[in-house]
Structure 1
Amino acid sequence: MNPLLTTKAETFRSGSDNLEFYHNRLIKLTNGVLLFCSGGEAEITIDLEKHHIIPNTNIMLLPGSILSLRSASPDFQIHYFAYSGEMMKVACFRLDPAFMHFMKENSCYTHTRLETIRPILRMIEASAAIYADKENQFRESIAQNLLQIFFLDTYDKVQRYFTKEQLEGGNRKGQLFKKFIHLVHTNCTMQRDVAFYAEQLCISTRYLSAITKEVGQISAKEIIDEFLTLEIKVALQSTNLSLKEIADRYNFPDQSFFGRYFKKHTGMSPKEYRAKRI
């Protein structure tokens, strides 16, 4: 069972886990999760980025994030507070959108200051207590308030400890690159044309390609293909959709074209990949 999954009946969850469910699997989260490493070490990927997790590392996963556990020490343990997308909207609706973008770009952060660790530990303790109190008629409201307190406190710390340049993504090229990555993450399942993203950013395709080469050392098309391939892998691993249904979902003209595209970027056919991951 996925320990980080919320449902309509259970809009938040809190507890401890070793994330074994995510070992060598790509799981796309439909809800948000706050995690805090209390022991051991692990290697995880969030979307396409690798992260080394050690004690006092805080991990923030927004809805739509793709999580995988690559390896972990025997004593690896995390505390988690999973919450629905609706609960997150209510908790964050007054916060600057740039802050949420910054949090997504910096999803893993290892704390060294006791003053930043203490609020997280208090929230973990409080969320676990209210989750365990099934008879409390106000438990969802309390969980909602705990989440909002956490985001407000984090927002305050970010404003104090990070420069405006760090929050906004450095120079204009860096800002455009981050906006491009966000657009690809949101739209790659339906839009694979570089021109679409250039138009959204109000720049030319040539300039967009130059930015991705300079900032990310990779072409704009390669970034789009990497994100789309990741989404397809998730569908092959975690759904029972037929190959034709997956081809339709991701806007391929037919199953044959879909198969050639996937094999070009992974070295194996969709059927081979699905069989290998079972």
Structure 2
Amino acid sequence: MKEEFIKKLTTNDFVQIMGEEPQSEQLHVSITEGITQIPINYPFRTADFHLIHVAKGVFKLSINLIIYTLKKNESIGIDPKSVIQILEISNDLKVFNINFTTQFIFDNFFNKASVDAFGYFTHNNVPKLQFTKQEGKILRMLVKMLKFYNQQESSAFKEDLIRSTFGVIVYNYAEKFKKEYPDLKAELTRQEELVLRFWNVLQENVKTDRKVQFYADVLNVTTGHLSKILKEVTGKTASQLIDAAVILEARLLLVDPKFSIAQIAEELQFPDQSFFGKYFKKHVGLSPSAYRKENKK
């Protein structure tokens, strides 16, 4: 089968196929049981990340032509562009699935520990993980919590609850992976390696420098090449990712009442409070004071 004939499915495609209600553009959590027929009976290429965990029954699938049989308390991670075919499901199958985009990672996890944790997904032949009965129970509880938070229409701490719960799940996977496969190292393309290097430099300098030229110079590439690669891998340019990192930092500071808005503007190296306010409102749609009021602890 030629590669161009393999259909690419996004998270939204999966939601429609399974007849589920959409949750958010970058994250969808599903808990599926009671299906008697394979819902997708053709090979497909996934556009996003997947974390699959079997709570009951048997789930047999092919990932990049390698066949995996997942049973109770077994999990596997799937990265974007992987070719998948569902081969067999048992009548008693109950499967937990977390779909998330690359953008979700970049919007929520700007630190080196996160880069190491997501390294689990960079292997071409990712091994499945076997969780103990207790570990499986805890994992399923966390996934249920994540789904609950992701389905909430509005909540003062919705983003923080999603970020924290998702982080615990991914770090659990990473910890398990490193224990079972200590000698496996992350397998990154040159483009992915550049993105992660940019990510590390950005989280170290986000408070002090917002110029694309600065990051390009540190990484020894041109600004055009940097933005091109970042756009290909993450869907956003260097400027957009820098802005996203600054806004994330600003949001974290604004929910802490001990910092005045003027202090936050100074901390993030803005010329003055007014400039910071205009910048924040442009990207968030609220003034810093309005955002602080909505997210008051």
Q: TM-score, normalised by structure 2?
A: 0.48
Q: Aligned in 2, Cα 1:118/1:77: closer, same or farther, shift over 3 Å? A: closer
Q: Secondary structure at the match of 2:15?
A: coil
Per-residue CA distance 1:159-179 (angstroms, 9 max, x = gap): 34443xx3249xxxxxxxxx5
Whole-angstrom distance in 2 between the partners of 1:4 and 1:148: 26
Matches within 5 A, 1:121-140: 121-140=140-159
Shift in Å, 1:138: 4.0
The residue identity in structure 2 corresponding to 1:78 is: V
1:29 aligns with 2:29: no
- Partner Cα distance (2:84, 2:151) in 1: 26
Aligned length: 171
Q: Deviations over 1:207-263 (max 9, x none)?
A: xxxxxxxxxxxxxxxxxxxxxxxxxxxxxxxxxxxxxxxxxxxxxxxxxxxxxxxxx
Q: 5+ residue gaps in structure 2?
A: 1-12, 193-297
Partner of 1:94: 112
> Residue 157 of structure 1 aligns with which residue?
176
Displacement of 1:51: 0.5
Counterpart-to-counterpart distance in 2, 1:128 and 1:102: 22
Asked if the contact 1:130–1:139 (Cα under 8 Å) also holds between the matched residues in 2, the reply is yes
Give the deviation of 1:108 after TM superposition.
2.2
* 1:45-84 per-position Cα deviation (integer Å, ceiling 9, x unaligned): 1122110121111121222222221111122221122112
Aligned identity (percent) is 9
Q: Distance in 1 between matches of 2:158 and 2:165?
A: 10
Hey, what does 2:61 align to over in structure 1?
A: 44
Match of 1:11 among 17, 23, 26: 26
CA-CA distance at 1:12 after TM superposition: 1.1
The 3 A distance-change label for structure 1 pair 73 and 21 is closer
- Measured in 2, the distance between the counterparts of 1:21 and 1:136 equals 36
Contact persistence 1:31–1:63 (CA under 8 A): yes
* Conserved? CA contact 2:28–2:98, under 8 Å: yes
Residue 134 of structure 1: how far off its partner (Å): 2.1
| 1:128 aligned partner, one-letter code | K
CA 1:77–1:114 in 2, change beyond 3 Å: closer, same or farther? closer
**Which stretch shifts more, 144-153 or 65-74?**
144-153
- 1:87-236 to structure 2, matched below 5 A, reads 87-89=104-106, 90-91=108-109, 93-95=111-113, 100-103=118-121, 104=123, 105-111=125-131, 113-163=132-182, 166-168=183-185
Q: Taking structure 1 as reference, are residues 8 and 85 closer, same or farther at Cα in structure 2, changes over 3 Å only?
A: farther
Alignment CA distance shift 1:133-1:28 (3 Å)? same
For the residue of structure 1 that corresponds to 2:103, the secondary structure is: helix
Is the partner of 2:80 in helix, strand or coil?
A: coil
Query: Is the partner of 2:129 in helix, strand or coil?
Result: strand
From the superposition, tell whether residues 136 and 110 of structure 1 become closer, same or farther in structure 2 (CA, over 3 Å): same
**Using the alignment, how far apart are the partners of 1:102 and 1:149 within structure 2?**
14
CA distance in 1, matches of 2:174, 2:86: 28
Cα distance in structure 1, aligned partners of 2:43 and 2:110: 27
Q: Distance in 1 between matches of 2:116 and 2:163?
A: 22
Shift of 1:93: 4.8
TM-score by length of 1: 0.50
* Residue identity in the other structure for 2:93: F
